[in-house]
Amino acid sequence: MRLAIITVVCLLSVLATTSTQTIESTADDILSFGTRIPGSAGNRLTRDYVIDSLNDDWEVKIQKSHQNTPIGELEFQNIIATYKHSNDHAGKIVLAAHYDSKIIPGGEFLGATDSVVPISIILNLAKDYVSYAKNSKYALQLIFFDGEEAIEQWSDSDSLYGSKHLANKWSENGKLSDIKLFILLDLIGTKDCRFPNFDIHKTTGTNEQYDLLRSIEASLRNHNDL
């Protein structure tokens, strides 16, 4: 697991060659589609944009599901992109974000940090990943979830539609065990962005990974690399 963490840090360093303006431009493109609630035109346009942004080095699959919601049955479409030339004998590292947006009755929620910027980060990393891929012993997989937001009110039954469906499917066929490290990018994009050590890290067994990332960040800052 320690090697997987270090691999992710090296992976994200690929973005060092990507300008902030490039990431902002990608975000602006997605924000121009408007709200991205499941089933909307903005949701479809964002999905098409994500798929079109991934070059031929990526195998892209759409995982569809029809689920009951407080407003009736809706279709959700997860985007799963796997780098074709990875050495996957050691397992997978997954970078994920959700591409739907929150429903605001009588209004429009665009969600720049929730989660357009995370999508932009992942897409721009994917463009330059080929330069690093040969050095990784892990397969890299990118997942863009649909239906993360609640349809009416956040609850166990009204939220995380796409991710729960995929997790259940992969649990049934044994694919979850292939994932060595799963990192969800969410609520990123403000100047004062912080990543607290929430209790979930301690209760789910990822506290060690959090502490390792924090120590790597501190070391990079000490050497003026951040």
Q: Which residues are identified as catalytic?
A: 148, 186
Six-digit token string for 89: 């004998």
Phi (first) and psi of residue 84, to 5 degrees: -70, -25
Torsion of CA 204, 207, 210, 216, to 10 degrees: -150
Distance in angstroms (rounded) separating the CA atoms of residues 15 and 56: 20
CB 36 within 8 A of CB 46: yes
CB 78 within 8 A of CB 63: yes
